[in-house]
Amino acid sequence: MSDMKERALDTLTGAQALLEKKAISAVELTRHFVERIKAIDPELNSVITLCAEEAIAQAEQADARRARGEAGPLTGIPFLHKDLFCTRGIRTSCGSRMLDNFVAPYDATVTEKLAGAGMVMLGKANMDEFAMGSSNETSFYGACRNPWDVTRVPGGSSGGSAAAVAAGLAPVATATDTGGSIRLPAAFCGISGIKPTYGRVSRYGMIAFASSLDQGGPMAHTAEDCAHLLGAMAGFDMRDATSLEDPVPDYTATLDAPLTGLKFGVPKDFFAEGLDEEVAQAIETASAQLEALGAIRVEVTLPHLRASIPTYYVIAPAEASSNLARYDGVRFGYRCSDPQDITDLITRSRSEAFGEEVKRRILTGTFVLSAGYYDAYYGRALAVRKLIAQDFDTAFESVDIIVGPTAPGPAFALDTFAEDPVKMYLTDIFTASANLAGLPAMSIPAGLAAGLPVGLQLIGRRLDEARLLNVAHQFQQTTDWHLKRPELSQ
């Protein structure tokens, strides 16, 4: 395959153009990525389950659909699916020993929608166990590595999805974000990712971590690719009680809108202690670029930003402790051997199959919800959550979007937080507040720090995904950070 053609394949839009011109078939495209996964993934560990045969069969159907003139824009486009979206007949592990033997009996709504669009699922992507983590190190299947530097983490929890896209193992991937899990790995791996407004993408069949925060979304090299994939993932779903009924706009239709007059705020609260200097510099340069594109910078503050970590780390574990109660060794998932009685069965199945971090969350969650402590912790966290949401409401009275860093620094080395895992929670300082407020937020590549990618975060008003994608696309029309690829992808 020629270099130019190969390069075109590593984005959804590039592959789409070749498919439409019939310069490549969906089967050839799928084989290309399967081969790359086989060749490169042993170094990364971004894929838990490779579905080569199923993918080729889906690609054959996509080619047949195209031959009949029935292809849609995504027909024949390969993708990797974070391993917490249920896939009928294929293991859905959630990165846990608990679900290592779980073959989902049904498809998640997102799985169904992407299959309906004719997309080809290459396999299931590695992730932190039950999506709990910021580094992808808590996976039962082993840590995933950052293609920019394999001694570093890809970020978490959607580390597999991000590493794979960055290394060109799939043009796009699905991911989920409870406190930053789309944006942080996107930032660490130098790609784009958007967490939509809470309720925009159906959670049906998406294994629950913290139900009031979890939200699915796309990862890709470019904002344009994210717009295509989000359009296919989003929409009302009767099977998810928190699903929003608002119609899904064509996210690609507004990508080219000029930014003239757009108001953006860069809250000074983002630049508090602990922010890497090169990251801070990259955010300033990106802000200047937005101004050069005609946007207007306005002062805003998010005074409760500092409270987002303690608030998130009470609410998320509380919900997790309830959601994970279903894994009891009885109905599905891991079961211990030779149980003495029902208590032994439940206790040992859970003790043996959950990892350290998951246990830590269940213990924390159970504690903050317990009778004597509910008001002091959980009740108070809910009150602070309102204050955090109000900060955004106030800020959005004077700006259209908020801009800042995605993470305090670039990707850290594996095992950095081995001795003090709770310290890792601080990496979510800039991301968790958008989940607490239910707002859409995106990360796009915007620089390098110590030679590693830096993410620029864009936070928008409720249901304003189109605006975030528009700003990101305009930024990408005049910068080349999204075109940089790690050496390992060559």
Asked whether position 78 contacts ligand GLN by CB under 6 A, the answer is no
Strands 452-460 and 401-405: antiparallel
How many residues sit in the footprint of ligand GLN (CB under 6 A)? 13
Residue 483 CB, nearest distance to ligand GLN (Å)? 27
Per CB under 6 A, the list member of 160, 168, 180, 445 interacting with ligand GLN is: 180
Give 349 or 431: the residue with its C-beta nearer to ligand GLN.
Answer: 431
Footprint of ligand GLN on 264-323 (CB under 6 A): 316
Secondary structure (3-state) at 36:
helix
Answer for the pair 209, 316: CB distance below 8 angstroms, yes or no. Answer: yes
* Binding track, positions 193-212, relative to ligand GLN; x by CB under 6 A: ----------------x---
Minimal distance in Å, beta carbon 337 to ligand GLN?
A: 31
| 181 included as an active-site residue | yes
Nearest to 255 by CA among 304, 207, 222: 222
Residue 204, SS3? coil
Beta strands in 261-355 (DSSP E): 263-265, 296-298
Q: Are 193 and 406 in contact (CB under 8 A)?
A: no
- The Cα–Cα gap between 26 and 12 comes to 12
CB 82 to ligand GLN: min, Å: 10
Q: How far is the CB of 133 from ligand GLN (least distance, A)?
A: 5
**Region binding ligand GLN by CB under 6 A among candidate stretches 54-62, 72-80, 171-179, 406-414:** 171-179
Decide if 157 is catalytic. yes
Q: How far is the CB of 434 from ligand GLN (least distance, A)?
A: 11
Min dist CB 482 to ligand GLN, Å, is 22
Which amino acid is present at 58?
Q
Given the residues 46, 82, 135, 433, select the one marked as catalytic. Answer: 82
Q: Which is nearer to ligand GLN, 216 or 486 (CB)?
A: 216
CB of 157 to ligand GLN, least distance (A): 4
Closest CB to ligand GLN among residues 426, 450: 426
121 to 150: interface string for ligand GLN, x by CB under 6 A: ----------xxxx----------------
Which is nearer to ligand GLN, 298 or 422 (by Cβ)?
Answer: 422
By CB under 6 A, name the one of 178, 311, 321, 474 that touches ligand GLN. Answer: 178
Q: Which residue's CB atom is positioned nearest to ligand GLN?
A: 181
Report residue 187: phi and psi, to 5°: -65, -50
Q: Does 411 bind ligand GLN (CB under 6 A)?
A: no
For residues 316 and 32, what is the distance between their CA atoms, to the nearest angstrom?
A: 39
Does the active-site annotation cover 351?
no
Q: Which is nearer to ligand GLN, 269 or 428 (CB)?
A: 428
- 428 belongs to the binding site for ligand GLN (CB under 6 A): yes
Active-site pick, 46, 181, 321, 349: 181
Of residues 178 and 308, the one with the C-beta less far from ligand GLN: 178
- 142-146, long-range: CB < 8 A, 24+ apart: 142/45, 143/45, 143/414, 144/44, 144/45, 144/46, 145/43, 145/44, 145/45, 145/414, 146/188, 146/189, 146/411, 146/452
End-to-end CA distance of the chain: 13
CB of 143 to ligand GLN, least distance (A): 15
Give the Cα separation of 185 and 161 in Å (integer).
Answer: 8
3-state DSSP assignment of residue 326: helix
Task: Answer whether 357's CB lies under 8 Å from 316's CB.
Answer: no
- Is residue 24 within 8 A of residue 18, CB to CB? The reply is yes
Q: How many angstroms separate the CA atoms of 268 and 26, rounded?
A: 48
Yes or no: say if 437 and 389 are a contact pair by the CB < 8 Å rule.
yes
Which CB, 209 or 264, lies closer to ligand GLN? Answer: 209
Q: Which of 181, 202, 433, 457 binds ligand GLN (CB under 6 A)?
A: 181
Which residue has tokens 């020629």? 2
Which residues of this protein are in contact with ligand GLN, per CB under 6 A? 131-134, 157, 177-181, 209, 316, 428
Active site residues: 82, 157, 181
